[in-house]
Structure 1
Amino acid sequence: MIIIIQRILPHYRRAIFDALHEKVSFRLLHTIQKSFISQSKAKYSVLINSWKPFKSRDLIFLSCLRELSHQKGSIIIHEFSLSILSFHLVFHVGKLVGKKLILWGHGYNRKEGFSPSQSFSDRIRLYYLKRADAVVLYGQQGKEVLSDYIPTDKMFVAANTIDTDLHRYIKQKLDFKGRDNIKKELGISETLNICFIGRLLEDKQVDKLLDLTKILCHTHNLDLRLHIVGDGPMNEALIEQVLLLGLNSHVSFHGNMTDPENSSKYLYISDLMIMPGYVGLSVNHAFCYGCPAVTFAQDENGPFHSPEIEYLIDGQTGFQIPVKDLNVMADTVLEYFSNPIKQIEMRKNCLKMVAEICSKSKMVQGVLEAINYVRL
């Protein structure tokens, strides 16, 4: 038996664990937390208690030791986060009793980088990374960064993704109706459509997307509509900004859509998914519908992208604008709109990226490879 320990079971991760459970037997120990993230539970999951000391939002102790003592698993796969205080205890106790320990996560703080010689937190991370039997990372970049410190043969990439099988099925149904019919169904008459999908957070920089929309619509007179799918703390401020910029007839707020059958329609009819701030799994979501993505390239000042930025290859599956200039981004978008051959090519590249690099089966395969490695 394998024991997997995570803080929560996000709804978007459920399909990955379901597919993994079809390949190997495990128990998933997790909590349910108050969060904007939709959470789930499954037949293989065991709900455990937790507590947060010092009223800290980040530090958490998972009450998993008692449940671990009842399980006879020889392998423990633990979410790798130093802020999970119980992790430190589970790791050392597990080692003492001969368990195989697999760490699963980013491996390091992507915003701060990895520098054990200068960072105390990174020295602690390196301590665990060296002593773990295997490490599962969300992206290839993480493996490259850590390869200077730990053997590459015990690092495995489980390319972070969503339920790509579900979205392939939804896309097939949308293809049957056709893009023009979906636009009519949604009441969309604009020639060009761009989309933002995700939480309305400050770091996503949706305010800059509104400024970009003003440039495209008012300066360049494009027949274009921006579709904002999602909710969050920036919602009211963004609605007010739309009014101030005079974009009422060019921006639609669709709110949070929990049904992928509905939210995916807006990606399907969109020419681009644009997110000036940091990108994450929204990239995967967009690519499932052949929709290229646009963002600013990361530098020392951000935006600090999640591992999914690896799928956004500049000029192939989207654009990473090298300078933080909305006029440069606008010029890139305009050039793309004027090149129908490029649009067809990039849409195909997005679908190919999902099929070959960031599919659900690829993520499951990465975890299975780590399990098989420690079993040798």
Structure 2
Amino acid sequence: MREKICLIYNYAQHYRLGVFKLMDQQMECDFYFGDKMSDVKKLDYNELKGFKKELKNVPLFSNFYWQKGAVSLFFKDYKKYIILGEYYCLSTWLILFFSIFSSKKVYLWSHGWYGKESFVIKLIKKIFFSMATGIFLYGEYAKKLMIKEGFKPSKLYVIYNSLNYKEQIGIRKKLIKSDIYPDHFENKFPVLIFIGRLTKVKKLHYILEAQKKLREQGLLLNLVIIGNGEEKEFLSSKVLEYGLKDYVWFVGQLYEENAIAEYIFNADLCISPGNVGLTAMHTLMYGTPVITHNNFALQMPEFEALTIDKTGDFFEHESVSSLAIKIHQWFQKDLSREEIRENCYHIIDKKFNPDFQVSEIKKVMYGY
């Protein structure tokens, strides 16, 4: 009988169902989730037989918070813990501190290092992560940075990231080209797409500015935006200002995966001007490459899935001109759309999926 593992996470994000469900099936794991996280949809707890309890996330100051009920879990009959590695969760600090005087093992699941940390944040992170038994990271970039900061490579485990792969692979196998875009736009121009929350950090107005610039140069493009958020009104005003009303489609928030797959599969190129994150996982899964910025210290770890001319490209950070050039170059290159599609499938199928993640976690937790 394998030892029970206690997993404590900030929230049960719906897009984490794939990896949590596989852990539930293949590992002896009890799940404890925080109760809220802005407007992110919560997964159905009934999907996890190991779900135990919802913890209350109590805001303290700035981004710092306390998970009520988390610390008491350290005194239950668990010997191993996997905890989301957010240094601004103060209850996690206390659990790590207690683990120093215990034989219990605490593993953190975290972005780790970005490369933009100030002296003070570096110091805080070094203390925080040094108390952990090991750290599960989303990418090799973070691992290399942490090794430079003095962390032992043997404590750092790269498991990448994923979405709901099992559902998505089933949908992907049935996808065929449709006329969804010619029917809507009444033209056959190339289609750019973005999927995700419409927030300031995503800098989505860059896409509109690049689209306007390219239109003036004779390259006509359509743009599809899937998602809602604080920037919707601002972006809508820009569409009207730039005269792009007939070439931009705000689909809105969408959770129905078959519909999402059709939009992505039939698009030509995803543009993510801010940090790319899980947008890359979603679009690559359905065969559409991604262009995002090249300042990796300000990126999310999913940028590692992008290879120039194979699964995407990078433009100069905060440069609309560079973004426009990269989009123009992409459509000027003699790239096979089907070959690009297969490249996108390959990177997701190889590393960025729950099977890979859980396989790596099991090696650490169980030794196989």
Change (3 A) 1:95 1:28: farther
Q: Is 1:47 the counterpart of 2:44 in the alignment? A: no
**Cα displacement (A) at 1:14:** 1.4
| Deviations, residues 84-112 of structure 1 (Å, cap 9, x unaligned) | 1111221222343421111111123x262
1:49 partner SS: strand
Matched ranges for 1:34-183 at <5 A: 34-40=37-43, 41=45, 42-52=48-58, 54=60, 56-69=62-75, 71-108=76-113, 110=114, 112-113=116-117, 118-119=119-120, 121-148=121-148, 149-174=150-175, 178-183=176-181
* 234, 242, 251: which one aligns with 1:245: 242
**Cα displacement (A) at 1:55:** 5.4
8 A contact 1:155–1:370 mirrored in 2: no
Change (3 A) 1:98 1:299: closer
The gaps in structure 1 that reach 5 residues or longer are: none
8 A contact 2:36–2:57 mirrored in 1: no
> Quick check: 231-240 or 259-268, which moved more?
259-268
Q: Which residue number in structure 1 is paired with residue 262 of structure 2?
A: 265
Tell me the TM-score normalised to structure 1 length: 0.88
1:228 partner SS: strand
Change (3 A) 1:143 1:221: closer
**Cα displacement (A) at 1:291:** 0.5
8 A contact 1:135–1:370 mirrored in 2: no
Q: Which residue number in structure 2 is paired with residue 15 of structure 1?
A: 18
Give the Cα–Cα distance (whole angstroms) in 2 for the partners of residues 111 and 331 of structure 1. Answer: 27
**Cα displacement (A) at 1:185:** 7.1
Give the Cα–Cα distance (whole angstroms) in 2 for the partners of residues 57 and 150 of structure 1. Answer: 25
Give the Cα–Cα distance (whole angstroms) in 1 for the partners of residues 340 and 203 of structure 2. Answer: 24
**Cα displacement (A) at 1:275:** 1.3
Give the Cα–Cα distance (whole angstroms) in 2 for the partners of residues 261 and 53 of structure 1. Answer: 37
**Cα displacement (A) at 1:240:** 0.9
8 A contact 2:163–2:354 mirrored in 1: yes
Tell me the TM-score normalised to structure 2 length: 0.90
Q: Which residue number in structure 2 is paired with residue 220 of structure 1?
A: 218
| Deviations, residues 244-279 of structure 1 (Å, cap 9, x unaligned) | 111110000000001111122111111000111111
Q: Is 1:307 the counterpart of 2:301 in the alignment? A: yes
* 354, 357, 361: which one aligns with 1:363: 357
> Quick check: 232-241 or 260-269, which moved more?
260-269
Q: Is 1:205 the counterpart of 2:203 in the alignment? A: yes
Change (3 A) 1:131 1:93: closer
Change (3 A) 1:217 1:14: same
8 A contact 1:7–1:31 mirrored in 2: yes
8 A contact 2:283–2:290 mirrored in 1: yes
8 A contact 1:32–1:47 mirrored in 2: no
Give the Cα–Cα distance (whole angstroms) in 2 for the partners of residues 317 and 81 of structure 1. Answer: 30
Give the Cα–Cα distance (whole angstroms) in 2 for the partners of residues 97 and 325 of structure 1. Answer: 51
RMSD: 2.3
Equivalences, count:
361
Q: Which residue number in structure 1 is paired with residue 5 of structure 2?
A: 2
**Cα displacement (A) at 1:353:** 0.8
* 266, 283, 288: which one aligns with 2:285: 288
2:335 partner SS: helix
Give the Cα–Cα distance (whole angstroms) in 2 for the partners of residues 142 and 34 of structure 1. Answer: 24
Q: Is 1:334 the counterpart of 2:328 in the alignment? A: yes
Change (3 A) 1:318 1:51: closer
* 1:360 counterpart letter in structure 2: P
User: What is the identity percentage for the equivalent residue pairs of Structure 1 and Structure 2?
Assistant: 24
**Cα displacement (A) at 1:82:** 1.5
* 2:195 counterpart letter in structure 1: I
Give the Cα–Cα distance (whole angstroms) in 2 for the partners of residues 53 and 274 of structure 1. Answer: 34
